[in-house]
Amino acid sequence: MHNLADEDAYLCAQGRKLTATKEFIRKSKTGFHSQITHYSCENCKDCPAKSQCIHGNHCKTPLEERTKNIEVSKRFQRQRQEALERIISPEGIQLRVNRSIQAEGAFAMVKADMTFRRFLTRGNKNVLVETMLLAMAYNIQKLHCKIQAEKLNRHRIPVDNAA
Q: How far is the CB of 37 from ligand SF4 (least distance, A)?
A: 16
To 5 degrees, how large is the angle CA 126–CA 128–CA 130?
70
Q: How far is the CB of 74 from ligand SF4 (least distance, A)?
A: 19
Across-strand partners of 24?
A: 36
Nearer to ligand SF4, 67 or 94 (CB): 67
133 CB-side CA count, 13 A = 11
Q: How many residues are there in the chain? A: 163
Per-position b or e across 8-40, b if 16+ CB within 10 A of its CB: eebebeeeeebeeeeeeeeeeeeeeeeebbebe
Q: How far is the CB of 1 from ligand SF4 (least distance, A)?
A: 8
Nearer to ligand SF4, 17 or 141 (CB): 17
Q: How far is the CB of 60 from ligand SF4 (least distance, A)?
A: 18
Nearer to ligand SF4, 59 or 140 (CB): 59
Nearer to ligand SF4, 21 or 100 (CB): 21
Nearer to ligand SF4, 63 or 87 (CB): 63
3-state class (DSSP) for residue 120: coil
Residue 78: how many other CB atoms lie within 10 Å:
10
Q: How far is the CB of 14 from ligand SF4 (least distance, A)?
A: 4
Q: Which residues are at the interface with ligand SF4 (CB under 6 A)?
A: 12-14, 16, 41, 44, 47, 49-50, 53-54, 68
